[in-house]
Structure 1
């Protein structure tokens, strides 16, 4: 079982997330918290595998709480309009990031991916971050283009679709491949480019143009 902590200061959001996660057979919600301080204390009382943390919480925000959760994988929850916090979370290496209005299946896939040690970013976050971060200078454009040149034509095709904010399943539908195959491609692309997540790779695509 994947043992999950949910931390959000809106009880209705917490209840909804809990209902979604507990509809599965492999995820158990072991604790809920209304602020970052309570979340940190909960991880000390319970064996938590994945902590779902709202960024904007009273007493202690989600980013501060995440920094105090050594040994626990963290996935951040946020809403549109929280762009600066999205960037802060990505800079700090948070393992996952989903929007509060994501589909239930996306949330479940995110928890499973983060538990497995993978990075998970809601596809919508890709476009959100790209809109936030300015383009680089000409020198940066040449560097980005040079890094992309290391990819095969098929890898560049798949990366272009990832940069549009498509999920692995959606990319697979476009190129007539299975989701599992696309997942393998994406992992290889990130490794070749030296990127830790899909957003960083998408930035290279944008900056190379």
Structure 2
């Protein structure tokens, strides 16, 4: 009987040891492996994306063409007030790649008119007269009419040349005084006869000291 009881106790001890081993071998479901983070290599960082766009060269084209080209790549077109769409671009502030939204200032000049042969000759002859003598606007128109140009052709040529009429009056006043003496009133009358306006005469008289 004692042997049987001892055998039973030994069996209980063996079974308990087996169950304990099984329990210690079970993995905790809440446990997570600790991941080791590798150090980042700065040299492997991606290069920042270049968002710049090529700036079109619009010099030589019309203002309308320049606006379309610049706005077409996302740049902001600007120009001087009063510039016409048919004006010719002479310069621009930016020619290198730029970020979209960058303002590009365009400077332009009015297109030169196409002259007829008569207009071209009248212009050249008007310039020739001004090279050796002073003329008022009315006086130069009359001189070109005398040469056989129509009033329209002569007027076009004189306005195309567009000299500084104040300077012309001052030059003519000086020329008069170089070969004769004039009172202020006498010189005024002479310049008025030549076709200068009162404002131009006042400038010319002041230039010679009257």
- TM (norm. structure 1) is 0.25
TM-score, normalising length: structure 2 = 0.25
Rg bigger for which structure? 2
Higher relative contact order (CA 8 A, sep 6+): 1
Choose between structure 1 and 2: higher strand proportion: 1
